[in-house]
Amino acid sequence: MQTRREFLRFGAAGALGLALPRAFAKGAAAGNWSLVETSRDGARLTSRTPAGAAAANAPTLSCDPSRRHQKITGFGGALTESSAYVLKQLPEAARLEVFRRYYDPHEGIGYTMARTHIGSCDFSLSTWSLAESPGDYELLDFSLKPMRRWLMPLLHDAHKIAGTERFRLVASPWSPPGWMKSNNQMDRGGTLREEYAATWANHYVKFVRAMRDEEKIPVWGLTVQNEPEANQSWESCLYTPEQERDFVRRHLGPTLARENLGGLKLYGFDHNRDTLERRADAMLGDAETAKYMSGMAVHWYVSDDYGAEARVLKKYPDKEVLFTEGCVEGGAKPGDWAVGERYARNLFGDLNAGVSGWIDWNIALDLRGGPNHVGNFCDAPVLVDTKGGKVLYQPSFYAIAHFSRYVKPGAYRIEAGGGPQGLQSSAYVNPDSSVAVVAFNPGDAAIDFNLDIAGQRRGCRIPAHAIQTYLV
């Protein structure tokens, strides 16, 4: 089902036609309780007043801030060449307004994380690498030049608005340069040739240092390979679990350590939940590999087995699982509420399973769901009418915001249970000791319940097909 399309038009002066919702700053006060709501009926982070006194006959959702689970790193989206191209079609003020809505710590939805691609990906305008000279074992011709027209300005905008202290950039390769691979091309799978394994490991170092020294943008973390089990028509490279383990153990891990980059976060897998456990056992179950690893990264395609994430974290309690990609495929879906609900289900599922951070796919695309140089179009939380100068903030944008705006970096997920049937919930205590409780009703009828936070109790109602965040 589609809701009204919320296009925002930018005039000649670049002014935003609709102010940021007041709820971005604060919810509707009820004592020291605040509540914001997004619904299929049209509410968008709208301030509401909690219902009031607790009802004796209503089930109670109880939250205990003293029972803590995982620490939250943050939330974010992917900064791709396609997103950069689309946003560049807007007037500068309009483009920066999109970034403020995402990354501004006061006016936006609280993004602090981002993911970008090392070399091209399907959401690039063409296929390119940062090391184009075949046989260049020493990477003497390595250069960030291919990133500088479109992608680098996007990274600078996000970094500047978020601030260096808050910004957490994860970088992922979709493929080594073709000359390093068994099939001599960046697309259609292939594998890393063993004679170039040391060179490819050094490529990560070159990238991190060039971003830091030339662009003044720090890289916070790396994934070894985007989707190592997928042989795609676009940029891709295949690793079995054992091959990825051996590359980290023999080459990438020691190279990062030797080059004093061992403090970078390093995540394996970066693929779907359905085979997460096998990959984790191969990599995290090997002590020589695990010492270089922060944990595993996951995507949402194919599987909604959130239990796989929980099982990996239980088996390897000193490691993390980071969510690094998800989108609804098949092109743009303007105003589609069902997409927002899919985002909500995944956010609740991943975070309640123990995921420490959540990074969406493209932050913005055009009305086709592109550009994409192989036609692999998909949806995004922000769609841009590049001809009309309009911006559409999708239901998925607001679904993410119910977490990202109110669950701060450094928060801990806390125990929450006992709520009514049909209500999904997740609760957090922030570094300032405030508590954020996010609730989701995917059903067709409103739900009445009591919310108890450390002994404070109020009666609450969540409409059908709605997401709420309570802040206490």
Q: Give the whole-angstrom CA distance, residue 219 versus residue 241.
A: 25
pTM of the model: 0.94
- Helices 337-353 and 306-315 cross at an angle (nearest 10°) of 20
Task: Give the model confidence (pLDDT) of 202-245 as tens digits.
Answer: 999 999 999 999 999 999 999 999 999 999 999 999 999 999 99
Write 136-145 long-range contacts (CB < 8 A, 24+).
Answer: 136/199, 137/196, 137/199, 138/199, 139/199, 139/202, 139/203, 139/206, 142/203, 142/206, 142/210, 144/207, 144/210, 144/211, 144/214, 144/215
* Residue 51 confidence (pLDDT): 74
Share of the chain above pLDDT 70, in %: 93
- In the sheet with 424-429, reading across from the earlier edge strand, the strands are 46-48, 34-39, 466-471, 435-441, 424-429, 412-417, 60-71, 447-453, 456-462
Task: Say whether pLDDT at 123 is over 70.
Answer: yes
Q: Which of 143-147, 282-286, 300-304, 413-417 bottoms out in mean pLDDT, i.e. has the lowest?
A: 300-304
Task: Say whether pLDDT at 57 is over 90.
Answer: no
* Residue 50 confidence (pLDDT): 82
Task: Give the model confidence (pLDDT) of 126-175 as tens digits.
Answer: 999 999 999 999 999 999 999 999 999 999 999 999 999 999 999 999 99
Residues 425-432: what's their mean pLDDT?
98
Token pair in block for residue 301: 């395609």
What is the 3-class SS of 66-123, one letter each residue?
EEEEEECCEEEEECCHHHHHHHHCCCHHHHHHHHHHHHCCCCCCCCCEEEEEECCCCC
* Residue 54 confidence (pLDDT): 73
Token pair in block for residue 311: 């099982």
Annotated catalytic residues are 227, 325
- CATH numbers and ranges of domains, the chain: 7-70+413-471 (2.60.40.1180), 73-406 (3.20.20.80)
Token pair in block for residue 181: 């691979």
* Residue 14 confidence (pLDDT): 31
Instruction: Work out the pLDDT band at 31, boundaries 50, 70, 90.
Output: low
Specify whether the CB–CB gap between 9 and 343 falls below 8 A: no
Q: Give the whole-angstrom CA distance, residue 466 versus residue 472.
A: 20
Task: Say whether pLDDT at 467 is over 80.
Answer: yes
